[in-house]
Amino acid sequence: MSFKSDLDIEHLVVYVASSGDSGSPTLEVVGQFPESEKVLQPVETDVALRTPSSNRRWYPLQEGSILLGVIRAERVPSEKKWPESLDQRLQVTSIAVANSLASELERKRLLDQLDDQKEQISLMVHQLRNPLAALGTYAKLLLKKLGPESEHKNLVKGLMTEQAQVNKYLSALDELSQVKLPKSADGSNRLLLPPLLPTETLVSLRTLIEPLIQRAQARANLLGRKWFGPTKWPDWIEKTRSVSEGVIAEIVANLLENAFRYSPPLSSLGIEITEKGICIWDEGSPINKDEREKIFEKGFRGKKSSELDGSGIGLALGRDLARQVGGELKLITNPNQFHSSLPEIGNAFIFIWDEK
């Protein structure tokens, strides 16, 4: 608009650098004067630009050594020399536009980084709740075993108080880090939570999963629920493998936590491991048919879980982690399809892995 009254200017076009369909850099049109319904082509495919012209000049939009874009100026055809005042105005304009574009790109980068950090914190908070809940379970069991006159009773109560306090801090941190999660998978795996693994480079999945099963057994005893551990350990779960595959233990931890939290208080639950994979099951009412796939979407919470604490992250995270190692996580509502010893009706989350 600042050049609208300039009789020397016939056409102004602003291009911004971007990656083309083939991945190679290109300069695409983002605006032009005068406005036209005609869509201009990128610089490299515009045949009209291949012929040099004394009535055309280019002004780079540059930030340091990086070319962010370019302004193309076309003046009214003339044999006269390009006006110096017009050239100076266009140079100043290109510097101003380049600074604005650089600031906007930096702003977008910082906002994306902030969103990534917020979501990562939210995922970490979610994972911390599992071992924190286990500490509370063990403390309650220990309190039951101590006699009323035990000198250690106050120590255990102190542990329980501190555990409750840490849980409050986690809840506050979770509120601070909340971001709007998409209700459908976007295909991005950039925020997959790294597993809490030993420092060794090789690890057996059994060594990672056994403590989780012991934790679940203790919790079931405390709640008076029937718990069923694995009837056998197949060879693939015993085999030593890359520590990166320990994310499978994170999947199991999330599924066990969900089984306790969302299944009916008196229903049986357990874990079964076979050559097919790993199955965490409960004997509760089957999840509604229209929710059986949606529960794997980030942020989605089913009708039964809507009144309970939770963020809707666990199953989405579990499926992402499963796919990261080349596996899959799915739900069936007839657990005995996985193993004949399991109930005919309930919910069974099954991790299937071809790399066994």
CATH of the domain at 190: 3.30.565.10
Answer with the one of 163, 180, 197 that is the final residue of a domain: 180
Does 95 reside within a domain? no
| pLDDT, average across residues 138-150 | 86
Residue 191 has pLDDT above 60, yes or no: no
Answer with the one of 43, 64, 82 that is the final residue of a domain: 82
Give the span between the Cα atoms of 346 and 78, in whole angstroms: 83
> Count of domains in the chain?
3
% of the chain exceeding 70 in pLDDT? 87
Give the span between the Cα atoms of 124 and 121, in whole angstroms: 5
118: β partners: none
**Pick the residue with more confidence: 23 or 226?**
226
Tens-digit pLDDT profile for residues 58-89: 999 998 888 999 999 988 888 888 889 889 99
Candidates 326, 183, 179; CA nearest to 251 is: 326
Does 292 reside within a domain? yes
- Looking at the structure, do residues 195 and 174 belong to the same domain, yes or no? no
End-to-end CA distance of the chain: 66
Element (H, E) at 329: strand 327-332
**Pick the residue with more confidence: 108 or 178?**
108
pLDDT (0 to 100) of residue 127 = 81
Does 158 reside within a domain? yes
Mean of all residue pLDDT scores within the chain: 84
Structure tokens at 79: 């044999």
Give the span between the Cα atoms of 140 and 146, in whole angstroms: 10
pLDDT (0 to 100) of residue 48 = 78
| pLDDT, average across residues 307-318 | 74
- Looking at the structure, do residues 203 and 326 belong to the same domain, yes or no? yes
Candidates 202, 333, 192; CA nearest to 251 is: 192
Residue 171 has pLDDT above 90, yes or no: no
pLDDT (0 to 100) of residue 173 = 77
Residue 181 has pLDDT above 50, yes or no: no
Residue 105 has pLDDT above 80, yes or no: yes
- Looking at the structure, do residues 226 and 274 belong to the same domain, yes or no? yes
% of the chain exceeding 90 in pLDDT? 39
- Looking at the structure, do residues 314 and 215 belong to the same domain, yes or no? yes
**Pick the residue with more confidence: 198 or 122?**
122
Given pLDDT bands bounded at 50, 70 and 90, which one contains residue 39? low
- Looking at the structure, do residues 216 and 308 belong to the same domain, yes or no? yes
Does 263 reside within a domain? yes
Given pLDDT bands bounded at 50, 70 and 90, which one contains residue 189? very low
- Looking at the structure, do residues 190 and 255 belong to the same domain, yes or no? yes
Please give the torsion angle defined by the CA atoms of residues 133, 292, 272 and 139, in that order, rounded to the nearest 10 degrees.
10
Give the residue numbers spanning the domain of 291.
181-353
| pLDDT, average across residues 81-102 | 92
- Looking at the structure, do residues 232 and 315 belong to the same domain, yes or no? yes
Beta sheet of 327-332, edge-to-edge order: 227-228, 269-273, 277-282, 347-353, 327-332
- Looking at the structure, do residues 322 and 347 belong to the same domain, yes or no? yes
CB atoms within 10 A of CB 116: 13
- Looking at the structure, do residues 194 and 156 belong to the same domain, yes or no? no
Does 43 reside within a domain? yes
Does 76 reside within a domain? yes
pLDDT (0 to 100) of residue 11 = 86
Answer with the one of 162, 180, 198 that is the final residue of a domain: 180
pLDDT (0 to 100) of residue 134 = 86
Does 336 reside within a domain? yes
- Looking at the structure, do residues 228 and 318 belong to the same domain, yes or no? yes
Please give the angle made by the CA atoms of 54, 58 and 63, to the nearest 5 degrees.
160
pLDDT (0 to 100) of residue 304 = 65
- Looking at the structure, do residues 151 and 241 belong to the same domain, yes or no? no
Give the span between the Cα atoms of 339 and 278, in whole angstroms: 11
Does 270 reside within a domain? yes
Residue 343 is given by DSSP the state -
- Looking at the structure, do residues 129 and 202 belong to the same domain, yes or no? no
Nearby residues of 28 by Cβ (< 8 Å), 6 or more positions away: 15, 16, 18, 42
Q: Which of 152-161, 320-329, 331-340 has the lowest mean pLDDT?
A: 152-161
